[in-house]
Amino acid sequence: MHVPDGFFNAAVSVSAGAVAAAGVAVCLRGARRELDDRTAPMAGLVAAFIFAVQMLNFPVAAGTSGHLLGGALAAILVGPYTGVLCMAVVLLVQGVFFADGGLTALGINITIMGIVTVLVGWGVFRLVTQLVRGKGGVTIAAFLASLISVPAAALAFTLLFWIGGTAPIEVSAVAAAMGGVHVLIGIGEGLITAFTVGAVLAVRPDLVYGARGLASPLVLRGPDGVTTVEPAARPATAGHGVRPFLLGGVGLTLLLAGVVSFFASSSPDGLEAVAENKGFLDQATDHLMSWSPLGDYGEVGGIPVGVAGVVGVGIVLLVAGAVAYAARTRGHAPAAGDDQVKV
Amino acid sequence: MNSLEVSRLAYAYPDGTQALFGVDLTIGRGERVALLGPNGAGKTTLVMHLNGILTAGHGTVTVAGTPVRKDTLKEVRRRVGLVFQDPDDQLFMPTVRDDVAFGPANMGLTGEELERAVKGALERVGMLEAIDRPPHHLSFGQRRRVAVATVLAMEPEILVLDEPSSNLDPAARRELAEVLRSLDVTVLMVTHDLPYALELCERSLILSDGVIAADGPTRELLADTGLLAAHRLELPYGFAIPAPAEPA
Amino acid sequence: MGAGHHHQLYLPGASAVHRLPPQCKLLAAFAFAVVVVATPRERFWAFAAYALLLAAVAWAARVPPGHVLRRMAIELPFVLFAFLIPVIGLGERTTVLGLSLSVPGLWAAWNILAKATLGVVASILLAATTEPRVILLGAQRLRVPSLLVQIAMFMLRYLDVILDEMRRMRVARESRGFEARDVRQIPAVARSAGALFIRSYERGERVHLAMLSRGYSGRMPMLGEVSASAAQWGVALLLPVSALAVLGLSL
């Protein structure tokens, strides 16, 4: 899914870049809380792990194979903030060093494969672990989280494609194709993530960030201020995960909306330019997104360009916000529980 | 002044497992001492106290007269050079130069001074020609020597090596021994490679069940089969302690 | 992607391109990609001019065409996709060799192929003339947050170590008759991934201890400061500025 240069128009590339930068900035702050001065070495090693795991190809269906995205896996193992950082660094290195993913598409790739997969994966994970408790719950949650994170990324891709894709393909067709394949890939990703988390949980449960609520309260009895190599001695920080994420998400999305609409309204995208030149705009708009009032986000149905962009982005905001909010409200109960244990 | 003094050191992990039960040891300046002990004796736990990665639950650790406390950590970490067992853990920077420079740069060295420290340290372990290479391109033995250089660059009072001979082929083992013998710093070598201890260290300590169980000339300790057996230590098959040299 | 793979990214050399400070090259490559992406796709000769510019850079850097072509395999998946667009695309259709193709689809395919290829070649040239760690120094100079640079540095340092571990685990699996053929093998693959994570994480902890014992306090000492002169900036920015000039002429 590594998007190359030229696949999306400049407006979307630039605004996704702004979203990615802001998201990474939020996570840089958050990761310090998850790991403190161990952030750099730990996140670096986990990024190398994600890079290696992305090489695990698994068969999907009839001759196609998929590979892990790893966003949900990273979020569950090391926490959402560190997870985003790891994904961002992996994509950065792939783009700049391996030419895998375009330089101008870096923002898009980080947004789709880093931020969306982690946000959705972590949201679903928190939700499910509240419903199903214990180690079994963690494994089920890991499966569902990564299963859903992959089509969610495909959906985000489709959405960006709708806003600023350069290929004249019906968005519904893109959505169907991307969705179909990625549900299948998602099942593979879900299985691998669940088994991976299960395997780590069996040997070193303390290393699964998402399962920190399960740690026995015994570890809190150590003498004050002791720095140790014993990982279980870390304070459980799983409680305060999602709220800044939600706020960050809102901010980013508004930014995206603003930038997109600015660019979109100041210049029609390449396809439309050609369409106008060639005189087949009428024909094209009949097909492009004809089922939607947003049309090709031109002036279909009398809705001006900028507004269409904002509405499109608003939909992402709603979906991501709903997931994050649901996870946040449910996430508060165990945090309070942890406090009681400490007292 | 002694390089290292440990007195009544006890430590329990936060989960309640106690690893050290009152360790006493003193190492004079310039001595080369082996710390012997079976797996699980508390060797690594003890080593982690020497530069303040772990904080003593009870007792004190003093490095060249400076007690290990929170406010002395920076100074202590400069004076105690800890060489980890796996050189890949120790060499985390992209090139040998950056890696050797990491410690001195943290201590505030810059420019010419830093470059001198780096080159000097690499020279002492015979790895100067590898200065611009990435660590993962070196052989295992070379990486271990560079790991030694990374702490030598900080001009430590005492060099602490964790299992220095593990995974080395015979030639690399000999080369490292030559390097260690040529250094004029205090050395504490944690190992269960008894012949290597005998080769390099006059004096040995046996750490067993969290206390120092024996302290004496390496040759004498290793000749005492009953003592070794009591602490799960064994000489390799066919190895015998050579007859003592003629007393001069 | 083989494990030894990323050693071949960088081709040692002493050309003028190799000697440019990394921050100049990074910025130049990004700016070039932006100009390419911003170019309207019907300006064929502008794309030809961009390709010539890259060829000039490759020539100046003594990067052999074979190296660039081999590395370009990375964009194959999207090339295949691009070939599909005219077939499934919408709009006015035309017949080429008996195939009914969409005209806007052809335009889109051309657009993606041209821009993606130019972008990929620019990245390849950057990586071929700049060592990975030097690229990171450049990124640091360009004010990329230092924590991000550090994470990338640790990742690059340990990529080989981790890929080696992964290879050993695969050899261990396969030497016991394991073959990953279908879904039933996923648990075994995943258990290796779990073991790999534990090893990676524990190594991270040991590395952190090693850093602590050499005086690390959460801040990386600035190493290998690379400064760029105005002249060097000028040389590096020749690429995007020429591209911009081409774009300006084409409009």
Could you tell me which of C81, B181, B212, C37 has the C-alpha nearest to residue B221?
A: B212
Q: Measured between CB atoms, which of B14, B55, B92 is closest to A219?
A: B14
Name beta bridge partners: A61.
A64
Decide: B24 and B6 in contact? Cβ < 8 Å: yes
Q: Are residues C136 and C188 in the same domain?
A: no
Q: Are residues C136 and C241 in the same domain?
A: yes
Candidates C63, C123, C223: best to mutate against A (most CBs of A within 10 A) is C123
On chain C, the residues whose CB falls within 8 A of the CB of B61 are none
Decide: B25 and B4 in contact? Cβ < 8 Å: yes
On chain B, the residues whose CB falls within 8 A of the CB of A219 are 14-15
Amino acid at B138: L
pLDDT tens digits, B199-209:
999 999 999 88
Per the structure, the complete domain to which residue B176 belongs is given by: 4-86+157-230
Q: Are residues C109 and C87 in the same domain?
A: yes
Q: For chain A, where are the E strands, in sequence order?
A: 57-61, 64-67
How far apart, in Å, are the Cα atoms of C251 and each of A212, A279, C244?
58, 20, 11
pLDDT, chain C, mean: 84
Name beta bridge partners: B5.
B26, B62
With CB atoms and an 8 Å threshold, state whether C90 touches A93.
no
Q: Are residues C32 and C118 in the same domain?
A: yes
Tokens representing B232 are: 């799960």
Based on the structure, what is the number of domains in chain B? 1
With CB atoms and an 8 Å threshold, state whether C214 touches B84.
no
Decide: A213 and A238 in contact? Cβ < 8 Å: yes
Minimum CA–CA partner of B16 in chain A: A222
Region C49-59: mean pLDDT is 94
Establish if C221 belongs to a structural domain: no
Establish if B245 belongs to a structural domain: no
Tell me if residue B205 falls in helix, strand or coil. strand
Establish if C220 belongs to a structural domain: no
Establish if C219 belongs to a structural domain: no
Region C120-128: mean pLDDT is 92
Decide: A104 and C33 in contact? Cβ < 8 Å: yes
Burial class from Cβ neighbours inside 10 Å (0-12, 13-18, 19+) for residue B247 reads exposed
Per the structure, the complete domain to which residue C185 belongs is given by: 145-213
DSSP A52-119: HHTT-EEEEETTEEEE---HHHHHHHH-HHHHHHHHHHHHHHHHHHH--S-STTHHHHIIIIIIIHHH
Q: Are residues C120 and C232 in the same domain?
A: yes
Q: Are residues C99 and C169 in the same domain?
A: no
The rounded distance, in Å, linking the Cα atoms of C22 and C132 is 10
Decide: A9 and C111 in contact? Cβ < 8 Å: no
Residues 6 or more apart in contact with residue C160 via CB below 8 angstroms: B136, C3
Model pLDDT, residue A244: 53
Decide: C204 and A49 in contact? Cβ < 8 Å: no
With CB atoms and an 8 Å threshold, state whether A230 touches B14.
yes
Domain A10-212+237-330 adopts which CATH fold? Arp2/3 complex 21 kDa subunit ARPC3 (1.10.1760)
Q: Give the DSSP letter of residue B158.
A: E
ipTM of the complex: 0.88
pLDDT tens digits, B174-194:
999 999 999 889 999 999 899
The rounded distance, in Å, linking the Cα atoms of A185 and A179 is 10
Establish if C62 belongs to a structural domain: yes
Q: Are residues C105 and C194 in the same domain?
A: no
The rounded distance, in Å, linking the Cα atoms of B226 and C180 is 53
The rounded distance, in Å, linking the Cα atoms of B172 and B193 is 15
Establish if B107 belongs to a structural domain: no
**Average pLDDT by consecutive 10-residue portion of chain B (248 residues)?**
90 80 92 90 88 85 91 86 89 89 88 92 93 89 94 91 91 92 92 91 92 93 90 85 62
Interior CA angle at A45 toward A66 and A73, to 5°? Answer: 40
Query: Whole-model pTM above 0.80?
Result: no
| In chain A, domain spans | 10-212+237-330
The CB-based long-range contact list for B220-228 (8 Å cut-off, 24+ gap) reads B221/B36, B222/B194, B222/B197, B222/B198, B228/B194
**Average pLDDT by consecutive 10-residue portion of chain A (343 residues)?**
83 89 91 80 89 76 68 91 93 88 90 93 92 85 92 89 80 79 85 88 82 51 39 39 52 50 40 35 31 32 39 46 46 37 30
Report how far Cα A331 is from the mean position of its chain's Cα atoms: 19
Tokens representing A122 are: 């972590």
Q: Are residues C149 and C64 in the same domain?
A: no
Q: Are residues C10 and C116 in the same domain?
A: yes
Decide: A207 and A77 in contact? Cβ < 8 Å: yes
Minimum CA–CA partner of C116 in chain A: A5
On chain C, the residues whose CB falls within 8 A of the CB of B95 are 133
Q: What is the domain-level CATH number for residue B212?
A: 3.40.50.300
pLDDT tens digits, C13-35:
888 899 999 999 999 999 999 99
With CB atoms and an 8 Å threshold, state whether A223 touches B14.
yes
Q: Are residues C30 and C113 in the same domain?
A: yes
Establish if B112 belongs to a structural domain: no
Q: What is the CA radius of gyration of chain A?
A: 21
